[in-house]
Chain A
Amino acid sequence: MTDRQDISGSSSSGAGDTVQGGADFQGLSREIIWLVIKNLLLTIVTLGFYRFWARTNVRRYLWEKMHVFGSPLEYTGTGKELFLGFLIVAFGFFVPVFVINLLVSMLDNYVVAAIWGLSLPFLFFYLIGVAIYRARRYRLSRTRWRSIRAGQTGGGWTYGLWHILLNALMIFFALILPYKNMKLWRIKMQNTHLGNRFFVFDQDGAARQTLVTLYLSYVVIALVVIVVYALPFIAVGLTLGGEVFTGALSQAEIQTQVEMKLQTNSGMLTMFALVWPISLLVFAIGMAWYKLKETRFLVGLTTFEDLKLSFNATLLSFFWLYLGNMLILIFTLGIGLPFTQVRYARFLAHHTGIDGELDLGTISQSADDDLTSGEGLAEAFDMGAV
Chain B
Amino acid sequence: MVRVELENLQISDLQTAELIQRWLISETRWISGKGPAALTTAKTPDARLILKRPTLANKLLDLNPDLKKPVKSAKSQKTHKMAWVLGICAVVLIVGLLAMAPLLSGPLAKMATDDWRQRIGKQSSAQIEAFLGKSCSGDQGQVAFSDLARRLAYHLPVSEKLNVKVIDNDMVNAFALSGGNIRFIRGLIDEANDPDEIAGVLAHEIAHVALRHPEELAFRNMGYDILLSTFADSGAVTEVAASAGIMLVNAAYSREAESAADALAFQLLKEANISSTGMASFFARIEKKEGTSPRFLKYFNSHPATGKRREAATAHASEGYAALSVKSWQALKAICD
Contacts and interface: CB of A to CB of B under 8 A. Distances in A.
Contact of B86 (A44, A64, A87, A368): A87
Contacts of B86: 84, 87-88, 91
Given A3-B3, A51-B233, A370-B75, A11 B242 contact: no
B108 to A, nearest CB: 13
Interface residues of B, number: 57
Nearest to B38: A74
A72 B36 contact: yes
Contact of A334 (B55, B78, B89, B235): B235
Contacts of A88: 86
A5 B56 CA distance: 7
Given A3-B2, A5-B1, A372-B75, A91 B89 contact: yes
Interface string A8-24: 11011000000000000
Interface in A303-342: 333-335
B205 to A, nearest CB: 30
A5 B51 contact: yes
B89 A4 contact: no
Contacts of B33: 60, 64
B232 interface: yes
B237 A335 contact: yes
Nearest to B48: A147
Interface in A72-95: 72, 74, 76, 78, 80-81, 83-84, 87-88, 90-91, 94-95
B159 interface: no
Interface in A333-386: 333-335, 365, 368, 370, 372-373, 379, 382
Contacts of A76: 31
B1 to A, nearest CB: 6
Interface string B20-50: 1000000000011111101010000011111
Given A1-B4, A87-B90, A333-B236, A47 B83 contact: no
B69 interface: no
A373 B48 CA distance: 24
Contacts of B234: 382
Given A2-B5, A4-B3, A83 B48 contact: no
A90 B48 contact: no
Contacts of A11: 11-14, 20
Interface residues of A, number: 47
Given A91-B89, A98-B230, A372-B79, A334 B50 contact: no
A8 B83 CA distance: 38
Contacts of A379: 233
Nearest to B49: A7
Contacts of A372: 75, 78-79, 82
B2 A98 contact: no
B289 interface: no
B59 interface: yes
A270 B119 CA distance: 48
Contact of B238 (A48, A87, A146): A48
B330 interface: no
B235 A51 contact: yes
B226 interface: yes
A237 B11 CA distance: 83
A67 to B, nearest CB: 10
Given A4-B3, A43-B237, A51-B235, A80 B90 contact: no
B231 interface: yes
B80 interface: yes
Contacts of B48: 74, 146-147
Contact of A78 (B2, B79, B87, B238): B79
A48 B236 contact: no
B140 to A, nearest CB: 43
Contacts of A335: 237
Contacts of B288: none
B79 A81 contact: yes
Interface in B182-196: none
Contacts of A8: 36, 50-52
A371 to B, nearest CB: 8
A48 B31 CA distance: 27
Contacts of A51: 233, 235, 238
9 contacts: A1-B5, A8-B36, A48-B233, A48-B237, A60-B33, A72-B50, A90-B230, A147-B48, A373-B79
Interface of A: 1-9, 11-12, 40, 43-44, 47-48, 51, 60, 64, 71-72, 74, 76, 78, 80-81, 83-84, 87-88, 90-91, 94-95, 98, 146-147, 333-335, 365, 368, 370, 372-373, 379, 382
Top 8 A-B pairs ranked by shortest CB distance?
A: A48-B238, A87-B86, A147-B48, A84-B83, A372-B79, A94-B230, A5-B56, A8-B50
Given A6-B14, A48-B241, A74-B31, 11 more contacts: A5-B2, A47-B238, A48-B232, A74-B48, A76-B31, A84-B79, A87-B83, A90-B230, A94-B229, A335-B237, A368-B75
